[in-house]
Amino acid sequence: MITETSPQTEPEDEAESLADWPAIRGDFPILDQQVHGQPLIYFDNAATTQKPRPVLDALSHYYQTDNANVHRGIHELSNRATAGFEAARARAARFINAAQPDDIIFTRGTTEGVNLVAQTWGATHIREGDGILLTEMEHHSNIVPWQLLAERTGAKLMFLPVSGDVGLLDLNRLDEWLTRDVKLFAFTHISNSLGTINPVADFCARARKAGVTTLVDAAQSAGHRPLDVQEIGCDFLAFSGHKMCGPTGIGVLYGRQEVLADMPPYQGGGEMILNVDFQRSTWKPAPHRFEAGTPDISGAFGLHAAMDYLDKIGRHRIAEHDQELGAHAYARLSQLKGGIRLFGPHVGRAGLVSFLLKDVHAHDVVTVADQRGVALRGGHHCNQPLMHKLGVESTARASFYFYNTTEEIDRFVEVLREIQEFFGA
């Protein structure tokens, strides 16, 4: 019997005090550097966020003191690694208010979470002619796994439309589309290219009424706002550690225990079995049934530290700060003369802005901005179908996190002015 050797205490959310943003920024050693001779302004947080010292320390502490394989050894180090790994699972459950730690499956990230559901739940629940409802603003990782499933099963994909540049979903026909033929409704919480925040609890309530299973892609929201899967009422929810101060290679798939219980295994191997004979095997219950092989143990330790770190700041504060930065950027950019096209909602947007400067390709914007120390993303943001719908090949995107400042945004807008001048006709 393994007990937690180091019971984790949750940091108290100091709701009343104000966050000390400059001090918090100081926790991120990587931000204190120059790029091409200019102070780094890191605005590519929707791709991946930077890691604070406590997360880096947790990783190095794990490897320096506790490293061993989990759930196998009966020696001290293995006990510690196992206890820490399971403590991270329990922490992840509390992080999103899952009913129990067994609702948490560790994955490599959001992409693997969606693929896992498509390959296991999809294999037993999706038949020829069934509908899988997605939205036009989904990331490729919430489209392609369903296309693969549709190819295998003969299911059909449906897409809830996005209303042009303003980037809101057209919900008028949602109830109409949630028919008996639709078996799954999978949607993003926050659009990685538009910054739209979807009313996911409302989506889930409507889907539940129609008996439709739901999956929430929380890649862009998990580290940015409080998340409560019971309040949202989803069946599945997936997110990545690296987009919320954690290491790359670790992520979480939440599944309601009732739904997980009858899902077939994902990958076969060690750790997921009860008993193996030469001809057949039996599986462990969830979540271990879905975690074949040695998992990313250090990643789980790092993710644990990241969740503690975020909650020490307070995710509601992070959400407010995000919105401030998003609104400030949107306002400043819309004042930019000389032609700029902005994507996403005018109000209530997440902390990111996609844009196109008139007659300047996104990649040229990104290249010049980089020379000024500003890290942006240019391209289709893994949203090719959405880009085609909006009639663009690519956009430039600035995405923020709590360590960014309005001063950085002002500097970035200055750089955009220079770019307009540089490429001016």
Partner 1 sequence: MFDELGDLYQQVILDHCKHPRNFHEQGQATCSAQGHNPLCGDQLKLFLTMEGDVVKDASFVGSGCCISKASASLLTESIRGKTRTDVRQMFDRVHDLVMTGEVKGEVGKLAVFAGVHKFPARVKCAILAWHALLAALKGEGHPVTTENDET
| Binding residue for partner 1, selected from 284, 341, 361, 389, defined by CB under 8 A | 361
Q: Binding to partner 1 by residue 420, rule CB under 8 A?
A: no
| Binding residue for partner 1, selected from 114, 204, 362, 376, defined by CB under 8 A | 362
Q: Binding to partner 1 by residue 356, rule CB under 8 A?
A: no
Q: How far is the CB of 392 from partner 1 (least distance, A)?
A: 8
Catalytic-residue membership of 382: yes
322-133-214 Cα angle (round to 5): 65
Q: Binding to partner 1 by residue 282, rule CB under 8 A?
A: no
Closest CB to partner 1 among residues 61, 140: 140
Residues 66/77, Cβ–Cβ less than 8 Å:
yes
86-89-93 Cα angle (round to 5): 145
Considering only CA atoms, which of 353, 371, 368, 362 is closest in space to residue 409? Answer: 353
Q: Which residues pair with 131 in a beta bridge?
A: 156, 182
| Binding residue for partner 1, selected from 234, 314, 378, 400, defined by CB under 8 A | 378
Looking at this protein, which amino acid is placed at residue 59?
L
Pairing of strands 213-217, 236-240: parallel
Q: How far is the CB of 355 from partner 1 (least distance, A)?
A: 15
Closest CB to partner 1 among residues 44, 86: 44
Candidate ranges 111-119, 150-158, 240-248, 368-376; the one touching partner 1 (CB under 8 A): 368-376
Query: Residue 326: CB partners within 8 Å, gap ≥ 6?
Result: 195, 349, 350, 351, 352, 353, 400
CA atoms within 13 A on the CB side of 158: 17
Tell me how far CA of residue 27 lies from CA of 18, 22, 51, 57, 304, in angstroms.
17, 9, 8, 11, 17
Paired tokens of 288? 């271990």
Q: Binding to partner 1 by residue 379, rule CB under 8 A?
A: yes
| Binding residue for partner 1, selected from 1, 18, 23, 425, defined by CB under 8 A | 425
| Binding residue for partner 1, selected from 194, 387, 415, 416, defined by CB under 8 A | 387
| Binding residue for partner 1, selected from 140, 393, 406, 413, defined by CB under 8 A | 393
Residues annotated as part of the active site: 382
Residues that bind partner 1 (CB under 8 A): 36, 359-364, 367-368, 371-372, 378-380, 387, 393-394, 418, 422-423, 425
